[in-house]
Amino acid sequence: MTAALVFSTALLVALAADRYVGEPPVRYHPVVWMGNYLDWAGKRVQRLAGQGVAFTHRGHVGSQTDFKAFWLAAGVWIGGAVVVLIAALALQWCVLAVPGLLMQAIERATGSIFGGFVGSLLSAVLLGCLLKPMLAWAMLRSEVLAVEAALNPAHGGSLAAGRERLSWLVSRDVTQLTEAQVRESAIESLAENLNDSVIAPIFWFVLLGLPGAALYRFANTADAMWGYPGLYKGHNWQWAGKWAARADDALSYIPARITGVLLAAVSRGVAWKTLRTEAARTPSPNSGWPMAAMALALGVRLQKPGVYALNALGRPVQAPDVPLAIIYASKALLAGVSIALVAIYFLNTLLL
C-alpha cells in the first residue's frame, strides 16, 4: 500500500470506529489527558499570575494589561503542545514503520508476496485507531439528539430536562432559556462542533498526519477551557486566555470556512455572499461560519441575545429542525471526507 492508501484507510478506520465503537474509556482518552493537563496548568497560572480584576460602572469585567499572566499561560500552552506533538509523531512513526518492517522480514523469510501489504494494512488500522479519539461525530450527534429527546413531552421530557441536557453541551447559563432557545443552542453547538470535533481535525490530519490532528484538539481544548474574555468560574482569563484563544482562531480559520461552505453546499440554498455577511455577525472570527450556514440552510434564526443574531429574519427554531440539522451536518461530513480522501491522494502521490 502506498502512503496515500495508508492515510486514506486510516481516516476511514477512524470514522468507522467512531460510528461503531464510540469513545475510548475516559481514563484512556488522550483528549481527556489534554484537558487534565490544561486544568492543572491553568490553576497554576491563575495562582502565579496575581491578576488584578476590576469591574466598570456598567458591570463589565476589565483588567489591566497583564503580560505575566499572558506569558505564563503561553509558556504552559507551548509546553503542552510540544509534548502532544512529540508523542503523536512518535506514535505515528511506530505504527507506520514497525508493522511494515516486521511483515517485510516475514515476507523475506517465508517467500510470501503479501507481507508488505499486510504490514501496510495493519499500519493503517493502527493509525486509524490513534486518530479516532481526535474525532467525535457520533458523540456530538448523539448529544444533540438527546437534547431534543429531553424536550419531547411524548417521551417524558420537559423544558427543565432539555435545559439540563443542553448544559452538557454548552458553557452558557441555560436556566432561563425558552424551549426555542434550547433548540437554537443545540443546533449552534452542532454546527460549531462539526468543525471543532470533526472537520478541523480531519483537515489537519490531511496536512500533517496524526500530529496535526492532535495539536488541533489540544488547541481547541485549551480554548474551550481558557479562552474567555473575562471572568469564568471565579478566574480571570482576560489575559491568561489570550494565547489559547488566538492559537485556536488561527488553527480553525480555514477549517471553519470549509465547514460553512460544506453546509451551504449540501443545503443547495445558501449564497456565498449571504453566508459571508452573516458569518461576520459573531464576535468569533470562525464560529460564525458553520453556525450561519446552518441557520441559512434551515431558514431559522439563531441568536445569542445581546451578542449576535444569525439570519435575523428567519423563523424561530422548531422541533423538526434539530433532526434536519443532523441530516445537513451528516451530508457535510460525507462531502468533507470525500474531499479529504482526494486531498490525501494528491498530497501523498502527486506532490511527493
Range of the domain at 172: 3-350
For the stretch 299-336, pLDDT in tens is 999 998 889 999 999 999 999 999 999 999 999 999 99
Greater confidence, 196 or 66? Answer: 196
> What is the DSSP annotation of 204-250?
HHHHHHHHHHHHHHHHHHHHHHH--SSEETTEE-TTTTHHHHHHHHH
Per-residue model confidence (pLDDT) at position 238: 87
Q: What pLDDT, in 10s, does the model give residues 99-142?
A: 767 776 666 666 665 656 778 888 999 999 999 999 999 999 99
Which pLDDT score is estimated for 54? 45
How do residues 17-50 score in pLDDT, each as one tens digit? 999 999 999 999 999 999 999 999 999 999 887 6
pLDDT confidence band for 287 (50 / 70 / 90)? very high
pLDDT in tens, 217-226: 999 999 999 9
pLDDT of residue 107: 67
Q: Beta 53-55 vs 61-63: how paired, if at all?
A: antiparallel
Quote the pLDDT of residue 109. 66
- Provide the β-strand partners of residue 300: 315
Would you say 210 and 91 are in contact if contact means Cβ atoms under 8 Å apart?
yes
Say yes or no to pLDDT of 56 above 60: no
The reported pLDDT for the residue numbered 229 is: 82
Predicted confidence band at 59 (pLDDT cuts at 50, 70, 90)? very low
Percent of the chain with pLDDT over 70: 91
Average pLDDT over residues 72-81: 97
Q: So what's the pLDDT on residue 333? A: 98
Average pLDDT in the 136-159 region? 93
Q: Could you tell me which residue, 89 or 99, shows the higher pLDDT?
A: 89
Q: How confident is the model at residue 8 (pLDDT cuts 50, 70, 90)?
A: very high
Residue 311 backbone zone (phi > 0: left; psi -120 to 50: alpha; other: beta): left
Q: Residue 303: its pLDDT value, please?
A: 92
Q: What is the mean pLDDT of residues 3-8?
A: 92
* Distance in angstroms (rounded) separating the CA atoms of residues 72 and 58: 30
- Number of folded domains that form the chain: 1
Res 98: pLDDT: 77
Higher-pLDDT residue of 107, 232: 232
Helix/strand/coil (H, E, C) string of 284-304? CCCCHHHHHHHHHHHCECEEE
Per-residue confidence (pLDDT) for residue 112, from 0 to 100: 61
CA-based torsion, 132, 137, 138, 140: positive or negative: positive
- What number is the average pLDDT over the span 204-231? 94
* pLDDT for residue 48: 86
pLDDT of residue 171: 80
pLDDT for the residue 306: 85
Residue 244 has pLDDT above 80, yes or no: yes
